[in-house]
Amino acid sequence: MESLTISDWLLTELKLGRFPPRMPAHRRVYETIRRAIASHHLTPGTRLPSTRSLADALGFSRNTLLAAFEQLHDEGYVVSQTGSGTRVAKMLPEDYAEKNTLPTATNTTITANGLSVRGTVAAGLVDQPSYEVQPFAPGEDDFSAFPTQLWRRLLNRQWRNPQPAHLDYGHAGGYLPLRRAIANYLRMSRAVNLTVEQILITSGTQQSIDLCARLLTDHGDRVWIENPCYWGARRVLEVNGLQLHPVPVDDEGMAPGNADFRRPPRLIYTTPSHQYPKGVVMSYGRRRLLLDYAASQGAWILEDDYDSEFRFEGRPLSSLQGMDQSGRVLYLGTFSKVMYPGIKLGYLVVPPNLAESFKRGLYELQRPGQVVIQAALAEFIEEGHFASHIRRLRQIYGERRRLLQKALAPVTSVGARLPPAGSGLHLVIELPPDCDDVRVAELAAEQGLHVYPLSGYGIGEHREKGLIVGYAYAATERIAPNGRILADVIRAALSH
């Protein structure tokens, strides 16, 4: 782009006004130029017009332009040299981010496998989880309580006389009766504020996050994730070329500080009902803070409400989406936990003004389908089986949780902590900072118990130590004996 066209183009972009009303002018200019650089509309080395001429062309004060340029400079998007003005940097921040997140053997891997950089990240960012299912493996569920016969009957009913539309990809965001059933469920049990038009059926949370990343961000945009974080979300966001910015989690949930606020993200991925993996419930104050901040900066919040069905104590907390007055929250839910992961169905609730674009995007990018299963699931919910299945699972898992907490209680005498938490399908045992939690997990594995080290979910140098212990999969009668074995392993490891 020539200097003249850069000013014209900037003016048009700024007029298009895809900014929240309260966003200051310098942030709008900064955002617009940064996006142009990240999306390669402005290529490395391109000389930008002077702040004075841009200020005249755009009708802003020179200070506004100086502030925007200063931020671009601080973040490494532009470089300034006396005499040659300001140019787009040759090496962009996202290039550094990519370099830093990829394994050192990246280039070899790409050449050897023919994978793209994106493919290399997708395939190798974190170790593949082991699929050998053992007691206490987090994320594994017990399917023995699933009403298989009933489900088969509902599927058969759909297949007896399938309508042609049920065998197609399915337009309009998913099967309408299922969207209605989910809307009723979410209004009642999660205080989600929605109309049916705002719901899309996806093939699960992983796909919902991917759709949000593709439709709401451009390559290089900043996204806040929780530290520690759900690796599934992290991988999808990273593969989309986003700049991941880890935000610590304290006893009130995601805890952004001043340094975080200085560089607003485009997306915020969070698990407020039950932080994954730490299990913290986000406080009311933190919820308000995040919502207000997102509204003032025009950021989107992805609320992953992955296991809120399993609340064993206290009143269920309402969703972040239900508190949102500014339409900044996208609410993500899944049937993986209550039904079974292979059902590959989840839902995404978007703000009203995004509904049409998301339906089109879903169709264009992912060709959803699975309408027959969606129809069977709609009946499963409408006929009350979903609610009774959740009640049954809550009873089974609640009992397992109670037994596990009791069996693990002795670990608190050697410096481990068992934070109170009344929901979800796993417990966290917090270990002292100098403890090698990977080693403790290995020692547990030697006893046939599969637990995950908390540090494996952390990002950066200062990783919290602990163990993630799933109790959904282990048979109820095995929980107490296995829990005692695990407690002994921890006590022995911490006593050395």
Ligand X SMILES: Cc1ncc(COP(=O)(O)O)c(C=O)c1O
Which residues of the chain form contacts with ligand X (CB under 6 A)? 139, 204-206, 230, 232, 271, 276, 304, 306, 334, 336, 341, 346
- Kindly state the smallest distance separating residue 234's Cβ from ligand X, in Å: 10
Closer Cβ to ligand X, 232 or 264, answer by number: 232
Region label for 298, one of left (φ > 0), alpha (ψ between -120 and 50) or beta (otherwise): left
Burial 221-251 (b: 16+ CB within 10 A, else e): bbbbbbbbbbbbbbbbbbbbbbbbbbbbbee
Phi/psi for 478 (5° steps) reads -95, -10
- Kindly state the smallest distance separating residue 482's Cβ from ligand X, in Å: 21
Point out which residues pair with 250 in neighbouring strands. 253
Closer Cβ to ligand X, 346 or 483, answer by number: 346
- Kindly state the smallest distance separating residue 201's Cβ from ligand X, in Å: 12
Closer Cβ to ligand X, 32 or 205, answer by number: 205
- Kindly state the smallest distance separating residue 230's Cβ from ligand X, in Å: 4
Element (H, E) at 235: helix 231-239
Cα separations in angstroms, 55 against 3, 25, 78, 128, 228: 13, 11, 18, 51, 42
Closer Cβ to ligand X, 139 or 298, answer by number: 139
Q: Decide the pairing of beta strands 329-334 and 466-470.
A: unpaired
Q: Name the closest residue to ligand X (Cβ).
A: 204
Closer Cβ to ligand X, 204 or 272, answer by number: 204
Closer Cβ to ligand X, 348 or 407, answer by number: 348
**Cβ contacts of 179 within 8 Å, gap of 6 or more:** 173, 196, 199, 200, 201, 347
**How many angstroms separate the CA atoms of 138 and 133, rounded?**
9
Closer Cβ to ligand X, 87 or 214, answer by number: 214
Q: At what angle do helices 3-16 and 51-58 cross, to 10 degrees?
A: 40
Element (H, E) at 333: strand 329-334
Point out which residues pair with 331 in neighbouring strands. 303, 349
**How many angstroms separate the CA atoms of 277 and 228, rounded?**
7
Closer Cβ to ligand X, 306 or 397, answer by number: 306
- Kindly state the smallest distance separating residue 204's Cβ from ligand X, in Å: 3
- Kindly state the smallest distance separating residue 471's Cβ from ligand X, in Å: 14
Closer Cβ to ligand X, 60 or 457, answer by number: 457
- Kindly state the smallest distance separating residue 293's Cβ from ligand X, in Å: 22
- Kindly state the smallest distance separating residue 50's Cβ from ligand X, in Å: 48
The pair of structure tokens assigned to 345 is: 């169905």
Closer Cβ to ligand X, 317 or 493, answer by number: 317
- Kindly state the smallest distance separating residue 304's Cβ from ligand X, in Å: 5
Closer Cβ to ligand X, 137 or 404, answer by number: 137
**Cβ contacts of 148 within 8 Å, gap of 6 or more:** none
Q: Decide the pairing of beta strands 222-227 and 267-270.
A: parallel
**How many angstroms separate the CA atoms of 365 and 361, rounded?**
6
Sign of CA dihedral 215, 216, 222, 228: negative
Give me the residue label for tokens 């009668």: 477
Contact 306, 337 (CB under 8 A): yes
- From the CB of residue 92, how many other CB atoms can be counted at a distance below 10 Å? 22
| E strand intervals along 228-270 | 243-250, 253-254, 267-270
- Kindly state the smallest distance separating residue 360's Cβ from ligand X, in Å: 22
Order of strands across the sheet that contains 426-430: 426-430, 466-470, 452-453
Phi/psi for 296 (5° steps) reads -75, -25
